[in-house]
Amino acid sequence: MTKGDHYQHPVVKEILAGIEKYSKLLHVLVGPRQTGKTTAARRIAEEWNGETVFAAADAPLPHGPEWIHSQWDLALTKCGPRKKVLLILDEIQKVRGWSETVKLLWDRESHERKGLSVLLLGSSALLVQKGLTESLTGRFYQYRCGHWGYPEMKAAFGWNLEEWIFFGGYPGSAQFRKNETDWKHYVTDSLVETVLSRDVLQLQTVAKPALLRHLFGLAAGYSAQILSYNKMLGQLQEAGNSTTLAHYLKLLETAFIVSGLESYRGGQVIKRGSSPKFILWNNALVSAHRALTFAQAKEDGKAWGRLVENAVGAHLLNHLDRSFGEVLYWRDHNMEVDFVIKTGTKIWGLEVKSGKNAPEKGLAAFLKKYPKAKLLMIGTGGMDLQEFFQSDPSHLLA
C-alpha cells in the first residue's frame, strides 16, 4: 500500500448517503480526469450493502447504446427480493446516445421497481451536462469531484501549503514529488495529453488540434493574467480569429483544465470583446509547463505570487458551480480586482496578496464604483491563506 491509499475522499460517504436518501433518482458524479472519481466509485462499490456491477466506457473507440443495455441487463439479473444492486457506469459521456438510452431504461426501472440503483461518472462537463439537461431533467442528483485541494493533499500525502501551491492537486502525481523532472513529465504526458486527446479532441469537433494544444500552453504561461485576444492571435500560429480562440477556450473549460474569466463592468458581465483572465483549475498544470523548480519558484516573488493567485482562482472554480454564482475579474484602466464573485444581487471583490502588504487601490476603486459590494483580502494583510484554502468558498461567501 502506497502513501495515500488509506485516504477516502469525502464524496464516497456523500454518495452512499445520497443513494439511500434519494433512491428514486439517478446519481451522477462529474469531475476532471485523475481526481479520484473511479477510485471513489470502487470504494462505494466495496461499501455498498448489496451486489454491484462496475463498467467503464473509456475505450479507444466509442461504445454504442447496446453497451449500456448489456451492463444494465447484467445488473438486473442480480436483482431479486430484498436484494439491492448498484450499477456504476464510468466515462458515460463516451457512449453514443447515452442519455436517451439511460432515460429509456431508468423510466422502465422507475415503473417496474426491480431494486436497481445507478451511479454515472463523467469527465466532460459539457457532454454530461448536455445529456442531463436534454434527456434526464428531473431524474438525477449530481455530485462534484473537483481537483484536490490543500486539505485533501495534506490528509492523503502530508503535503504542506507551499507544496500544494506548486505541485497542485493530482493525487496520482504525488508519487513523483521527490523527482521534479519525472513529475513534470508525468503531468504533461500522462495527464494533460490524455485530457486533450480523449476528453476534448476525441469528443468535440476541433478543426485545428495543434492550435488547441498551443492555446493551452499559452494559458499555462499566462496563468492568473489578463490577455487580449489580439495578443493571443499574435502569439499563436494559424490562430484564425478571436471567435475560434474563444470557442477552444470554452472546450478546455469543459474538461476542467482552463477557464478564461470574463470581465465585470458596469454591473454586467462583459462577454464579447472582453480580454479573458486565464485560470488553470489545478496548479500542477502551471508548474509543469514552467522551467522553475519548486525552490526557485518560492524565491521568485513574482512567479510565486502568480501561483498563489491562480490557486485562489482554481479554489473558487472548483467549489463554486454556476448555481451559486460566476467567477469574474474587474479592471478599469489601471485599477484591477483579482476576482469578482457575482451571486444573485450580491457582489464580492476578492484581492490576493502573497508578498509585502501594500495599499490596495483596486479594492478602493471597486468599492467606490459599487458601494454595496463586499470585500475580502486573501493573504498578506487579510484572511490567512491556510484558512482560505481550507474553507468552502460557497459557505465563506454565502
Report the pLDDT value the prediction gives residue 3, as an integer from 0 to 100.
62
pLDDT averaged over every residue in the chain: 89
Residue 136 has pLDDT above 90, yes or no: no
Q: Which of 74-78, 102-106, 121-125, 266-270 has the lowest mean pLDDT?
A: 266-270
Q: What is the pTM of this model?
A: 0.87
The domain defined by 10-144 carries CATH number 3.90.1170.50: no
Cell (9 digits) for 65: 447504446
pLDDT-based confidence at residue 82 (cuts at 50, 70, 90): confident
pLDDT-based confidence at residue 268 (cuts at 50, 70, 90): low
For the chain, domain boundaries = 10-144, 150-396
Angle (deg, nearest 10), helices 209-221 and 242-254: 80
Residue 1 has pLDDT above 70, yes or no: no
The DSSP line for 232-295 is: HHHHSTT---HHHHHHHHHHHHHTTSEEEEPEEETTEEE-SSPPPEEEESSTHHHHTTSS--HH
Strand partners, 143: 29
Of residues 273 and 369, the one with the higher pLDDT is: 369
Of residues 10 and 204, the one with the higher pLDDT is: 10
Reported as a single tens digit per residue, the pLDDT across 318-343 is: 998 777 889 999 999 889 999 999 98
Report the pLDDT value the prediction gives residue 94, as an integer from 0 to 100.
84
pLDDT-based confidence at residue 8 (cuts at 50, 70, 90): confident
